[in-house]
């Protein structure tokens, strides 16, 4: 049979992270590759009890639900978002199958082939996949640990006139950087001047390590959500469990309505029974206390990894120490390639993601993303030892 695939399939690229996860399945490879939370911290008993309470309500819980999502859960999320300075109603929110679907739906309703999108450099790989599949032309904006460079952003807004600017300003993927409030306000000002929507992706914002740190969402700094220049997305994947596949988007009602229409064509609605369970969880479980436990543990694992990496500084390895999130961004000397190191590292039993895959253009071949949240102390120690051994082989080659 000669299968006649659409030309759109030429734009779909395989995820380097997913490919590496396949590579490590069933093998004694310690993976620093995926953005995986720690299973041992999942609130298993609380989730089981939440589902029990849902099923106790009768067979109706197995029926179709609203495209926009379970109303009680949206109301509970609105209340939770108010604590973060975002004042909204359920009409300004849609529940999605993870925040990944929120990015996909926004792209569907905003982007025609050939439209321009700006992203920070580097940026979230799976967002790039969505944008490229839609036929968008993606340009990157230079920046540093404080966020996008305002001068470069202004120049590229003027040059490319993008439909939207996609950012992960709080503990970003892949770098773990957190934007300063000044850079967030600068982005808002410039995007309003150039009529470019901001997509603020915030899957990691709850995972801050400093108890007194405050990193305001960009949406909370703007009019919200009516007339806002921002659509905010987040997820339960990093605070409860990824398998529930429940995320949300907040924005002007006109945008949310269009997203709902696109979602009807995609899947009618996300799993209503998972949403009902999450509502029960929020009603009967102290999620904030649970998040504090996650923060402490992930902060300790980050400190452990950075301490273990210190001897590798002599070999030219450099890295940041993030204030939250799940990743740190490491860089080899300029002349070395992390994809070459990756092949050697797998032979030694450790995996990471080469950094080039996170760039829309002009990739850095000496960079790599390391996840520290999924490995325990023993795995962190052994994994960094194996990484050091792989680096030594390349240096002596």
Q: What are the DSSP E strand ranges found in the chain? A: 30-31, 93-96, 116-120, 137-141, 143-144, 147-148, 164-167, 197-201, 230-235, 247-250, 318-319, 327-331, 350-351, 353-354, 367-371
Q: Return the bridge partners of 393, or none.
A: none
Q: In this predicted model, what pLDDT tens digit does every residue of 206-246 receive, in sequence order?
A: 999 998 899 999 999 998 888 999 999 999 999 999 999 99
3-state secondary structure 94-106: EEECHHHHHHHHH
Q: Identify the domain boundary among 232, 265, 284.
A: 284
Q: In this predicted model, what pLDDT tens digit does every residue of 323-348 receive, in sequence order?
A: 999 999 999 999 999 999 999 999 99
CB 125 within 8 A of CB 15: yes
pLDDT(18) > 90: no
CB atoms within 10 A of CB 309: 19
Burial class (CB in 10 A: 0-12, 13-18, 19+), 72: middle
Do 104 and 64 reside in the same domain of the chain?
yes
Residue with tokens 């400190």: 303
Q: Which tokens sit at 204?
A: 């990691």
Confidence of residue 397 (pLDDT cuts 50, 70, 90): low
Q: At 36, is the secondary structure helix, strand, or coil?
A: coil
User: Residue 266 sits in which domain range?
Assistant: 45-284
CB 101 within 8 A of CB 247: yes
Q: At 332, is the secondary structure helix, strand, or coil?
A: coil
Q: In this predicted model, what pLDDT tens digit does every residue of 179-198 receive, in sequence order?
A: 999 999 999 999 999 999 99
Read off the pLDDT of each residue in 126-154 and give the average, rounded to a whole number: 97
Confidence of residue 260 (pLDDT cuts 50, 70, 90): very high
Do 261 and 330 reside in the same domain of the chain?
no
Q: What percent of the chain has pLDDT over 90?
A: 90
What is the b/e burial string over 211-244, where b = at least 16 CB atoms within 10 angstroms of the residue's CB? Answer: eeeebbbbbbbbebbeebbbbbbbbbbbbbbbeb
**What pLDDT score was predicted for residue 17?**
57
**What pLDDT score was predicted for residue 19?**
60
CB atoms within 10 A of CB 350: 27
Q: Would 259 be classed as within a structural domain? A: yes
CB 355 within 8 A of CB 366: yes
pLDDT(27) > 70: no
Q: Return the bridge partners of 119, or none.
A: 140, 166
Do 367 and 315 reside in the same domain of the chain?
yes
Measure the CA–CA gap between 25 and 375, rounded to whole angstroms: 15
Q: Which tokens sit at 86?
A: 């975002």
Read off the pLDDT of each residue in 78-91 and give the average, rounded to a whole number: 96
CA 355 vs CA 124, 299, 340, 359: distances in Å: 11, 23, 12, 8
**What pLDDT score was predicted for residue 10?**
73
**What pLDDT score was predicted for residue 2?**
83
Q: Identify the domain boundary among 251, 284, 317.
A: 284
Mean per-residue pLDDT over the chain, rounded: 94
- Residues in CB range of 312: below 8 A, 6 or more apart: 384, 387, 388, 391
**What pLDDT score was predicted for residue 130?**
96
pLDDT(15) > 80: no
Q: Identify the domain boundary among 284, 318, 353.
A: 284
Do 95 and 179 reside in the same domain of the chain?
yes
Q: In this predicted model, what pLDDT tens digit does every residue of 350-374 receive, in sequence order?
A: 999 999 999 999 999 999 999 999 9
Q: Which tokens sit at 19?
A: 């490919």
Do 216 and 106 reside in the same domain of the chain?
yes
Q: Which tokens sit at 370?
A: 């390391």
Q: Which tokens sit at 355?
A: 């950094």
CB 133 within 8 A of CB 288: no
CB 239 within 8 A of CB 285: no
Q: Would 1 be classed as within a structural domain? A: no
Here the CATH number for the domain that contains residue 321 is 3.90.1150.10
Q: Would 2 be classed as within a structural domain? A: no
Do 294 and 202 reside in the same domain of the chain?
no
Burial class (CB in 10 A: 0-12, 13-18, 19+), 275: buried
Do 94 and 200 reside in the same domain of the chain?
yes
Q: In this predicted model, what pLDDT tens digit does every residue of 263-307 receive, in sequence order?
A: 999 999 999 999 999 999 999 999 999 999 999 999 999 999 999
Length of the chain counted residue by residue: 397
**What pLDDT score was predicted for residue 290?**
98
């Amino acid at each position: 049979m000669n299968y006649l695939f659409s030309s759109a399939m030429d734009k779909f690229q395989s995820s380097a992270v997913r490919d590496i996860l396949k590579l490590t399945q069933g093998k004694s490879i310690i993976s620093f590759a995926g953005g995986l939370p720690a299973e041992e911290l999942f609130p298993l008993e609380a989730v089981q009890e939440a589902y029990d309470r849902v099923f106790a309500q009768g067979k109706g819980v197995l029926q179709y639900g609203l495209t926009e999502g379970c109303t009680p859960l949206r109301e509970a999320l609105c209340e939770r978002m108010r604590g973060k300075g975002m004042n909204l109603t359920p009409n300004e929110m849609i529940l999605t199958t993870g925040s990944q679907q929120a990015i996909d739906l926004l792209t569907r309703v905003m982007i025609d082939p050939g439209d321009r999108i700006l992203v920070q450099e580097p940026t979230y790989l799976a967002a790039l996949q969505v944008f490229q599949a839609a036929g968008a032309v993606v340009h990157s904006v230079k920046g540093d640990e404080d966020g996008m460079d305002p001068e470069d952003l202004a120049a590229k807004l003027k040059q490319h006139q993008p439909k939207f600017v996609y950012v992960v300003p709080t503990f970003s993927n892949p770098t773990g950087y957190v934007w300063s409030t000044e850079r967030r306000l600068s982005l808002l000002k410039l995007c309003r001047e150039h009529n470019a929507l901001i997509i603020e992706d915030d899957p990691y914002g709850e995972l801050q390590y400093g108890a007194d740190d405050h990193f305001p969402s960009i949406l909370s700094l703007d009019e919200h959500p009516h007339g806002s220049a921002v659509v905010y997305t987040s997820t339960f994947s990093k605070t409860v469990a990824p398998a529930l596949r429940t995320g949300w988007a907040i924005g002007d009602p006109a945008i949310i309505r269009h997203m709902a229409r696109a979602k009807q064509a995609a899947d009618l609605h996300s799993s209503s029974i998972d949403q009902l369970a999450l509502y029960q969880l929020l009603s009967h479980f102290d999620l904030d206390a649970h998040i504090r436990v996650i923060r402490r543990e992930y902060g300790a694992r980050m400190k452990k990894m950075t301490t273990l990496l210190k001897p590798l500084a002599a070999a030219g390895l450099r890295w940041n120490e993030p204030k939250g999130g799940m990743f740190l961004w490491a860089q080899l000397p300029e002349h070395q390639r992390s994809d070459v190191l990756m092949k050697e590292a797998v032979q030694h039993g450790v995996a990471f993601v080469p950094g080039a895959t996170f760039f829309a253009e002009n990739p850095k071949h000496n960079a790599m993303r390391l996840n520290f949240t999924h490995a325990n102390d023993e795995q962190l120690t052994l994994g960094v030892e194996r990484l050091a051994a792989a680096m030594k082989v390349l240096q002596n080659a």
